[in-house]
Amino acid sequence: MSESPRASFSFTKLVVDDLEKMASFYSEVYGLEQVQRIQAEIAGDPIDEIILRGPGEAGMGSLILLEFVGKPAPGSRETILGFSTDDMDALFERIVAGGGAIYSPKHESSVGQVLVGFATDPEGHLAEIVQPAGS
């Protein structure tokens, strides 16, 4: 029996309504940098994408913001983004200052030695924020 081809995680695409506003939010709040912009089509529907990565990160783990040109985005709970930090309080302050909101405050996780909280971006997309306990 032959081996199946390997697959590995490479990116997350988040469908948004306001591409520029959301790219600015994720850059200012999470420190992600725009590495590429793509205008193309998916099954004849025009799209506009911005690819974001952390400073100095290459390859895997990109966040891609995608706007279907001329169409509204789907609901805001279609995916949950995950971010880690060593200072959740400061990150929560940046989220609120950037137009987002705290969805669930920082609390101890029931599954490990971490603190966890949830926040939303200006369009209501949910992010889970994790901080190592004791930091």
Give the pLDDT confidence score for residue 74 in this predicted structure. 76
Question: What is the per-residue pLDDT across 24-53, written as a single tens digit (0 to 9) for each?
Answer: 999 999 999 999 999 998 888 899 999 999
Count of CB atoms situated within 10 Å of the CB of 106: 16
CATH H superfamily, domain 10-71: 2,3-Dihydroxybiphenyl 1,2-Dioxygenase, domain 1 (3.10.180.10)
Give residue 17's pLDDT band: very low, low, confident or very high (50, 70, 90).
Answer: very high
Q: How far apart are the first and last CA of the chain?
A: 49
Fold agreement between 10-71 and 75-135: yes
Q: Which fold has domain 75-135?
A: 2,3-Dihydroxybiphenyl 1,2-Dioxygenase; domain 1 (3.10.180)
5 pLDDT more than 70: no
Q: Considering the entire predicted model, what is its pTM?
A: 0.79
Count of CB atoms situated within 10 Å of the CB of 11: 13
Please give the residue that has the higher pLDDT: either 27 or 135: 27
1 pLDDT more than 60: no
For 1-135, strand residue ranges (E) read 11-15, 33-42, 45-53, 62-68, 80-84, 101-108, 114-120, 126-132
Domain ranges of the chain: 10-71, 75-135
Lowest pLDDT segment from 16-20, 73-77, 100-104: 73-77
Yes or no: say if 87 and 106 are a contact pair by the CB < 8 Å rule.
Answer: no
Yes or no: say if 104 and 120 are a contact pair by the CB < 8 Å rule.
Answer: no
Q: Compute the average pLDDT of residues 67-81.
A: 80
38 CB contacts (<8 Å, ≥6 apart)? 47, 48, 49, 51
Q: Residue 20 and residue 67: Cα distance in Å, rounded?
A: 10
